Structure 1
Amino acid sequence: MSETIVMPKLGMTMTEGTITEWYKDVGDAVEKGEPVLMISSEKLNQDVEAPNSGILLEKFGDVEDELKVGDALAVIGEEGEKPSPTDKKDIDPVSVEITEFEKPASPADMPKQQGVTKHQRSDRIFITPLARRMAANHNIDIQSVTGSGGKGRITKQDIERVLESGAEVQTESAHELATHQSAATVSEAIVSIGQGLSPMRKAIARNMRESLTQTAQLTLHRKATIDPLIDFQKMLRNELSASNSELKLSLTVLLARATVLALQEFKPMNATYQDGQLTESDEVHLGIATSLENGLLVPVIKNAHQKTIGTLANELKDVTERARNGEVDQALLSGSTFTITNLGASGIEYFTPILNPTETGILGIGSLQEELALKDDGTIKAIKKIPLSITFDHQIVDGVAAAEFLSILVKYIESPYLLVL
Structure 2
Amino acid sequence: MQGTIVMPKLGMTMKEGTIVEWYKEIGDPVAKGEAVLMISSDKLNQDIEAPIDGMLLARNGEVDDELEVGAVIGVVGAKGSVVPEIEKNASAPTVTAAEISKTTDQQSTVEKSSESKSARIFITPLARRMAAENELDIQSIKGTGGNGRITKQDVLRAIAELPKEEAAVAADTVKTRTKVGEGLTPMRKAIAQNMRNSLEQSAQLTLHRKVTADSLLDFQKLLAKEIESNAIDARLTLTVFLAKATVLALQSLKKMNATYAEGRLTEFDEVHLGIATSLENGLVVPVIQNAHQMTISQLAKEMKTVSEAARNGTADPGLLTGSTFTITNLGATGIEYFTPILNAPETGILGVGALQDELTLTEDGSVKVSKKIPLSLTFDHQILDGADAAQFLGSLSSIIESPFRLVL
Same-fold status (TM-score > 0.5): yes
Distance 2:189 2:212 in 1: 39
Q: Give yes or no for contact 2:57–2:83 (8 Å, CA) kept in 1.
A: no
Q: Give yes or no for contact 1:372–1:380 (8 Å, CA) kept in 2.
A: yes
Structure 1's 308 and 398: CA in aligned 2 closer, same or farther, altered over 3 A?
same
Q: Give yes or no for contact 2:161–2:167 (8 Å, CA) kept in 1.
A: no
Q: Give yes or no for contact 2:204–2:381 (8 Å, CA) kept in 1.
A: yes
**Counterpart of 2:100?**
none
**Counterpart of 2:84?**
85
**Counterpart of 2:104?**
none
**Counterpart of 1:42?**
42
**Counterpart of 1:317?**
304
Distance 2:380 2:56 in 1: 49
Aligned partner of residue 385 in structure 1, secondary structure: strand
**Counterpart of 2:399?**
412
Equivalent in 374, 390, 394 of residue 403 of structure 1: 390
**Counterpart of 2:374?**
387
Distance 2:162 2:273 in 1: 50
Structure 2 residue 275 is the aligned partner of structure 1 residue 288: yes
Q: How far off is 1:365 after superposition?
A: 0.4
Structure 2 residue 61 is the aligned partner of structure 1 residue 22: no
Distance 2:162 2:377 in 1: 47
Structure 1's 54 and 271: CA in aligned 2 closer, same or farther, altered over 3 A?
closer
**Counterpart of 1:182?**
169
Structure 1's 56 and 267: CA in aligned 2 closer, same or farther, altered over 3 A?
closer
Distance 2:44 2:14 in 1: 11
Structure 1's 391 and 13: CA in aligned 2 closer, same or farther, altered over 3 A?
closer
Map Cα deviations across residues 120-166 of structure 1 (whole Å, 9 max, x no partner): xxxxxxxxx99xx9xxxxxxxxxxxxxxxxxxxxxxxxxxxxxxxxx
Aligned partner of residue 255 in structure 2, secondary structure: helix
Equivalent in 341, 345, 354 of residue 358 of structure 1: 345
What is the aligned residue count?
350
Structure 2 residue 66 is the aligned partner of structure 1 residue 72: no
Distance 2:191 2:13 in 1: 15
**Counterpart of 1:328?**
315
Gaps of 5+ in 1: 95-128, 134-169
**Counterpart of 1:242?**
229
Query: 1:44-193 maps to which residues of 2 (within 5 A)?
Result: 44-77=44-77, 81-85=80-84, 91-93=92-94, 177-193=164-180
Structure 1's 61 and 366: CA in aligned 2 closer, same or farther, altered over 3 A?
same
Q: How far off is 1:274 after superposition?
A: 1.9
Aligned partner of residue 382 in structure 1, secondary structure: strand
Structure 1's 92 and 31: CA in aligned 2 closer, same or farther, altered over 3 A?
closer
Aligned partner of residue 199 in structure 2, secondary structure: helix
Distance 1:269 1:173 in 2: 42
Q: How far off is 1:64 after superposition?
A: 2.2
Distance 1:326 1:283 in 2: 27
Q: How far off is 1:417 after superposition?
A: 0.8
Q: How far off is 1:173 after superposition?
A: 8.3
Distance 2:355 2:246 in 1: 17
Q: How far off is 1:295 after superposition?
A: 0.8
Could you tell me the TM-score, scaled by structure 2's length? 0.78
Structure 1's 235 and 191: CA in aligned 2 closer, same or farther, altered over 3 A?
same
Q: Give yes or no for contact 1:2–1:83 (8 Å, CA) kept in 2.
A: no
Q: Give yes or no for contact 2:4–2:92 (8 Å, CA) kept in 1.
A: no
Distance 1:174 1:276 in 2: 28
Map Cα deviations across residues 250-278 of structure 1 (whole Å, 9 max, x no partner): 11111111111111122222222222222
Q: How far off is 1:211 after superposition?
A: 0.7
Single out whichever of 43-52 and 244-253 deviates more from structure 2.
43-52
Q: How far off is 1:44 after superposition?
A: 2.2
Q: How far off is 1:309 after superposition?
A: 1.0
Equivalent in 200, 206, 223 of residue 193 of structure 2: 206
**Counterpart of 2:259?**
272
Structure 1's 87 and 53: CA in aligned 2 closer, same or farther, altered over 3 A?
farther
Single out whichever of 38-47 and 53-62 deviates more from structure 2.
53-62
Q: Give yes or no for contact 1:222–1:387 (8 Å, CA) kept in 2.
A: yes
Aligned partner of residue 167 in structure 2, secondary structure: helix
Letter in 1 for 2:389: A
Distance 2:15 2:53 in 1: 28
Query: 1:291-306 maps to which residues of 2 (within 5 A)?
Result: 291-306=278-293
Single out whichever of 324-333 and 13-22 deviates more from structure 2.
13-22
Q: How far off is 1:184 after superposition?
A: 2.5
Distance 2:31 2:256 in 1: 50
Distance 1:398 1:20 in 2: 43
Single out whichever of 273-282 and 254-263 deviates more from structure 2.
273-282
Could you tell me the TM-score, scaled by structure 1's length? 0.75
Aligned partner of residue 92 in structure 2, secondary structure: coil
Map Cα deviations across residues 221-255 of structure 1 (whole Å, 9 max, x no partner): 11111111111011111111111112111111111
**Counterpart of 2:138?**
none
Q: Give yes or no for contact 1:353–1:364 (8 Å, CA) kept in 2.
A: yes
